[in-house]
Amino acid sequence: MTQAETATQPRPAAEGRPELPENVRVRFCPSPTGTPHVGMVRTALFNWAQARHSHGTFVFRIEDTDAVRDSEESYNQILDALKWLGIDWDEGVEVGGPDGPYRQSERSAIYSDVAQKLLDAGYAYESYSTSDEIEARNLAAGRPKAFGYDGYDRDLTEEQKASFRVEGRKPALRIRMPDDDVAFDDLIRGRIEFKAGSVPDYVIVRPNGDPLYTLTNPVDDAMMRVNVVLRGEDLLSSTPRQIVLYRYLIKLGVASEMPLFGHMPYVMGEGKKKLSKRDPESNLFLHRENGFIPEGLLNYLALLGWSIGPDRDVFSMSELIEHFDVRDVKANPAHFDIDKAIAINAEHIRMLEPQDFLNRSVPYLHRDGVVSADSWDELTDREREILSASAELVQPRVRLLGEVSGMVGSLLSDAEYLEPEADARKQLKDSAADVLGKAIAALEPIEESAWTTDNLHETLTQALVEDGGYKPRLAFGPVRVALSGRRVSPPLFESMQIVGKAITVARLKGLLAQR
């Protein structure tokens, strides 16, 4: 069975969760208020995977009506993040579509029109109560001050409204919540019910005329024909408000159908606390700077609430698309484990073609001052030659692309002495000087034509282990430190062949002079 055939096979709803519509339309709608974080990316990923699995439509819009917090820098960072990760979209910002504009800051006339229709139909009403007045009434009624809005303005007479206007007050608009329970079948959590009266009438337009998320988000979903809303668990409490508003929008002809909702689990950080945007491990670009590749990071983020199968953690994005169904997402909180994320990334690095691995590594090498340019084609012939020779040595040993510089820096350097790193210097025992002296004596007679991995291995094993009586760790450790300056490096004898005789011997003599 092909991937496409697998993806379109009907799947029975699990535990009462509803069937997905035939033409799935999902959306990703972040606010540009900061650096992209892993929770945001997980939301985008699950929406994208569901759209691709269902051969549906992925809509990407921007919710930028908060002039104080929103920024163009953050907007551009979100675009950068999705493009780097390879999460593409069918309709939305940058690509257009039939339901634009796709930035809320350009849709204010739409919200004003819908708000007026809700008001005219009696689904919304003018509310003149201030926060202080609401709190005072709650206290007078024996309720907690912060109990919430009490419905005071629901049935104001025209005379009362006129009196407030004379005082200079401007009304907010509130949605009139029904007097019955609100229930829905969550795609992830099953049946969820909110009792009548548990959700107060809520504001959709501020007194200054600014529309709130409670209006703009459902209106955009309705007009963009979104029929599957996948979002974070933190928004679950707002769902009964959206459902009620949707009922009104359907009656007004603004919406054609009620969408299905699925609320994804929290992503937890250290100490079993919700992963905050401010936590370093939440910062997407920090992970990119450290050397995560898109395949590895997306693979790990997909595991935050979902799995492809028992005891299987590593898979490709095509496999994710083939198998993903949001109804398989678990409701329990998911824990972000950076060590596991790095381990999965290492697996994906090992799966890269060697030249692809080198191409992706070069920007990190240039950033760290190891090579002369940030693209493979702009490197010198010597740099390309050394990197090509070292790829098979380094690729299986790095977990992040940011680690490549430390592994190949000594191979690319023409320095005749490398200052050992602190942890490498600790590996040098009292016998190091004798070992280095014997190594130099054994290596200097070797002809350039015989400077090969196998011959170097045989020569040093004979001189240091068999004749010198040293165990391999004590025999080869000082040579490794001299050649690389590091405790951990690519395989020793292969590295010696790449570096060449002159520099190898010079580095051994340089370290010996420091003993």
Tokens encoding 464: 């240091």
Among residues 464, 455, 463, which one has the least CA distance to residue 497? 455
Asked if 63 and 216 count as a contact pair (C-beta separation under 8 A), the reply is yes
- In this structure, are residues 474 and 438 in contact, taking their beta carbons and an 8 Å threshold? no
The amino acid occupying position 75 is: Y
Residue from 117, 161, 274, 277 carrying the catalytic annotation: 277
- Cα 179 to Cα 502: distance, rounded to the nearest angstrom: 87
Torsion 506-510-511-515 (CA) sign? positive
Phi, psi (5° rounding) for residue 334? Answer: -105, 140
Distance CA 123, CA 120 (A): 8
Report the C-alpha gap between 417 and 122 in whole angstroms: 82
The answer to whether 277 is a known catalytic residue is yes
Report whether 161 belongs to an annotated binding site: no
Q: Show Cβ contacts of residue 113 under 8 Å, excluding neighbours closer than 6 positions.
A: none
Burial 492-508 (b: 16+ CB within 10 A, else e): bbbbbbbbebebbbbbb
Helix (H) or strand (E) holding 335: strand 334-335
Closest of 291, 290, 315 to residue 301, by C-alpha: 315
d(CA 432, CA 149) in angstroms, rounded, equals 78
Identify which of 389, 318, 319, 327 has the alpha carbon closest to the alpha carbon of residue 358.
Answer: 389
Spatial separation of the C-alpha atoms in residues 216 and 212, rounded to whole Å? 6
Distance, C-alpha 103 to centroid of its chain = 22
Q: How far apart (Å, rounded) are the C-alpha atoms in residues 136 and 147?
A: 11
230: which strand partners? 262
Catalytic positions, written as ranges: 277
List the binding residues for ATP: 277
List the binding residues: 277
